[in-house]
């Protein structure tokens, strides 16, 4: 049976996990009430990746690992991504998943030259986001939660830049018809963002005033509900 597959690429901090759950829990909440069959694959524990033909869509979560560590499970996802893009299977990479998409399709990933970005930041849509279904209903400028040390330093050939920020020029891009990466975290609540900040010993790269005063980011969160809509329409089309 075809399902929306969430590829779990890591686990949050233990204290955050105990209080708020994990990456996939926040993603599931953000997808909303779309009647989609969903399955989580924790590839960090050796679970095999699903067949592309069995996927209605794919979401790759964030991670505390680094793409450039080239861990075996990470390289497995990276090798799989071009097939997903070629098949036009809806794909959403969040933070780590965004970076994997970038590198898998020929971009460059590494440590951001200005250091870590941590906190609630302003994001600006670029002209190519006009009409893009992932950003439907989202204003030109909105707030999003960000927590990353590495970035897509060079976009893949043919990628369309959809969003940028002051610190991070490649906040979102699309490659092909249905593969998106977002460097920010549409699944984070303000409480989760604050928990990330409190775990960061030096508050290095904090980009919002006070950091612990994070606010909710409803427009960033719409990325997940919009993606659920994209996958739902694919399901409806296949049923018809």
Choosing from 78, 117, 126, 187, the catalytic residue is: 187
Buried b (16+ CB within 10 A) or exposed e, 216-227: ebebbbbbbbbb
Instruction: Give me the residue label for tokens 């960061």.
Output: 200
**Is residue 210 one of the residues assigned to a domain?**
no
Tens digit of pLDDT for each residue in 167-188?
Answer: 999 999 999 999 999 999 999 9
Q: Which one, of 154, 157, 151, 193, lies nearest residue 171 by Cα? A: 151
**Does the active-site annotation cover 55?**
no
**Is residue 32 one of the residues assigned to a domain?**
yes
Cα of first residue to Cα of last residue in the chain, in angstroms, is: 16
**Is residue 123 one of the residues assigned to a domain?**
no
**Is residue 126 one of the residues assigned to a domain?**
no
The DSSP line for the chain is: --EEEEEE-----HHHHHHH--HHHHHHHHHTT----EEEEEGGGTPPPPPGGGEEEEEE---SS-GGG--HHHHHHHHHHHHHHHTT--EEEETHHHHHHHHHTT-EEEE-TT--EEEEEEEEE-GGGTT-GGGTT--SEEEEEEEESEEEEEPPTT-EEEEEESS-S-SEEEETTTEEEESS-TT--HHHHHHHHHH-TT-TTB-STTSTT----HHHHHHHHHHHHHHHHHHHHHH-
**Does the active-site annotation cover 185?**
yes
**Is residue 47 one of the residues assigned to a domain?**
yes
Tens digit of pLDDT for each residue in 94-108?
Answer: 999 999 999 999 999
**Is residue 207 one of the residues assigned to a domain?**
no
Choosing from 126, 170, 185, 211, the catalytic residue is: 185
Tens digit of pLDDT for each residue in 1-16?
Answer: 899 999 999 999 999 9
Model pTM score: 0.95
Range of the domain at 97: 3-111+152-184+218-239
13 or 213: which leads in pLDDT: 13
- The predicted pLDDT at position 204 comes to 53
Number of domains in the chain: 1
Q: Distance (Å, rounded) from C-alpha 14 to C-alpha 29?
A: 20
Q: Distance (Å, rounded) from C-alpha 156 to C-alpha 163?
A: 15
**Is residue 233 one of the residues assigned to a domain?**
yes
Choosing from 55, 95, 206, 211, the catalytic residue is: 95
**Is residue 23 one of the residues assigned to a domain?**
yes
**Does the active-site annotation cover 187?**
yes
Residues 39/3, Cβ–Cβ less than 8 Å: yes
| Domain containing residue 79: CATH number | 3.40.50.880
- The predicted pLDDT at position 34 comes to 72
């Amino acid at each position: 049976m075809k399902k929306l597959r969430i590829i779990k690429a890591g686990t949050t901090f233990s204290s955050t996990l105990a209080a708020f759950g994990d990456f996939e829990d926040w993603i599931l909440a953000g997808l909303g009430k779309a009647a989609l069959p969903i399955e989580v694959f924790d590839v960090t524990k050796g679970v095999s990746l699903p067949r592309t033909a069995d996927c209605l869509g794919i979401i790759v979560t964030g991670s505390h690992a680094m793409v450039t560590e080239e861990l075996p499970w990470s390289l497995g996802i990276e090798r799989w991504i071009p097939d997903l893009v070629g098949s036009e299977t809806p794909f959403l990479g969040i933070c780590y998943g965004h970076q994997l998409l970038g590198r898998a399709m020929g971009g460059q990933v590494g440590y951001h030259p200005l250091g870590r970005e941590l906190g609630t930041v302003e994001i600006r849509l670029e002209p190519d986001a006009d009409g893009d279904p992932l950003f439907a209903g989202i204003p030109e400028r909105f707030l999003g939660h960000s927590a990353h040390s590495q970035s897509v330093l060079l976009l893949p050939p043919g990628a369309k830049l959809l969003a940028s920020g002051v610190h991070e020029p490649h906040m979102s891009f699309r490659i092909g018809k249905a593969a998106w990466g977002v460097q920010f975290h549409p699944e984070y609540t303000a409480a989760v963002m604050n928990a990330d900040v409190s775990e960061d010993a030096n508050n290095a790269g904090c980009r919002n005033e006070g950091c612990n005063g994070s606010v909710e980011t409803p427009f960033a969160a719409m990325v997940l509900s919009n993606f659920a809509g994209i996958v739902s329409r694919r399901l409806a089309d296949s049923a018809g």
